[in-house]
Chain A
Amino acid sequence: MSERRNVDSEPAFILHARNYRETSQLLEAFTHNHGRIGLVAKGARRSKSPFRGALRLFQPLSISWSGRGDLATLRIAECSTSANNLVGTALMAGFYVNELILTLLHRSDPHRDLFAHYTALLAGLADAADNVEVVLRRFEMALLSEIGYGLCLDRDSVHHAELSPSQRYEYRVERGPVPVDATSGSDMVFTGVELLAIGRGDFAEQETLSSAKRLLRNVLEHHLGGRPLKTRKVFASMKRRI
Chain B
Amino acid sequence: MAFHLLDRDRRGGETLVTALENALKAIGHCERCRMLAESALCQICDTAGRDHALMCVVESPADVVAVEDSGSYRGRYFVLMGRLSPLDGIGPDELGLDLFEEQIAGAEIREIILATSATVEGEATAGYLAALAKNHEVAVTRIAHGVPLGGELEYVDSNTLSRAISTRRALDAD
The answer on A and B forming one complex is yes
- Which residue of the partner chain, among B88, B93, B162, contacts A230 with CB atoms under 8 Å? B88
Contact A99 B87 (CB under 8 A): yes
CB interface residues, A 219-236, toward B, < 8 Å: 230-231, 233-235
A135 at interface, CB cutoff 8 A:
no
Task: Write the nearest CB–CB distance from A94 to chain B, whole angstroms.
Answer: 8
Which residue of B is nearest A88, CB measured?
Answer: B127
| Bound-state Cα–Cα, A237 to B93, Å | 7
Task: Write the nearest CB–CB distance from B104 to chain A, whole angstroms.
Answer: 12
| Bound-state Cα–Cα, A43 to B101, Å | 36
Contacting chain A: which of B35-43, B44-52, B106-114, B152-160?
Answer: B152-160
Question: Cβ of A95: which chain B residues have Cβ within 8 Å of it?
Answer: 86-87, 124
Contact A241 B92 (CB under 8 A): yes
Question: Cβ of A56: which chain B residues have Cβ within 8 Å of it?
Answer: 119-120, 159
B53 at interface, CB cutoff 8 A:
no
Task: Write the nearest CB–CB distance from A86 to chain B, whole angstroms.
Answer: 8
Contact A52 B157 (CB under 8 A): yes
Question: Cβ of A53: which chain B residues have Cβ within 8 Å of it?
Answer: 157-160
Which residue of A is nearest B166, CB measured?
Answer: A85
Given contacts A54-B159, A56-B119, contact A230 B86 (CB under 8 A): yes
A98 at interface, CB cutoff 8 A:
yes
Task: Write the nearest CB–CB distance from B160 to chain A, whole angstroms.
Answer: 5
Question: Cβ of A83: which chain B residues have Cβ within 8 Å of it?
Answer: 159, 162
Contact B87 A59 (CB under 8 A): no
| Bound-state Cα–Cα, A83 to B124, Å | 15
Contact B87 A102 (CB under 8 A): yes
A238 at interface, CB cutoff 8 A:
yes
Question: Cβ of A79: which chain B residues have Cβ within 8 Å of it?
Answer: 157-159
A123 at interface, CB cutoff 8 A:
no
Question: Cβ of B92: which chain A residues have Cβ within 8 Å of it?
Answer: 234, 237-238, 241
B28 at interface, CB cutoff 8 A:
no
17 further A-B pairs in the complex, CB-CB below 8 A; given A53-B159, A234-B92: A56-B120, A56-B159, A57-B121, A79-B158, A79-B159, A83-B162, A91-B127, A92-B86, A92-B124, A95-B87, A231-B86, A231-B87, A235-B86, A238-B91, A238-B92, A241-B92, A242-B131
> A interface vs B, CB < 8 Å?
16, 18, 52-54, 56-59, 79, 82-83, 86-88, 91-92, 95-96, 98-99, 102, 230-231, 233-235, 237-238, 241-242
The 27 listed contacts between A and B (C-beta, < 8 Å) are: A53-B157, A53-B158, A54-B159, A56-B120, A57-B120, A57-B121, A59-B159, A79-B157, A79-B159, A82-B158, A83-B159, A87-B127, A91-B123, A91-B124, A92-B86, A95-B87, A102-B87, A230-B87, A230-B88, A233-B91, A237-B91, A237-B92, A238-B91, A238-B92, A238-B128, A241-B97, A241-B101
Nearest 7 A/B pairs, CB to CB: A53-B157, A234-B91, A230-B89, A231-B86, A234-B86, A57-B120, A95-B86
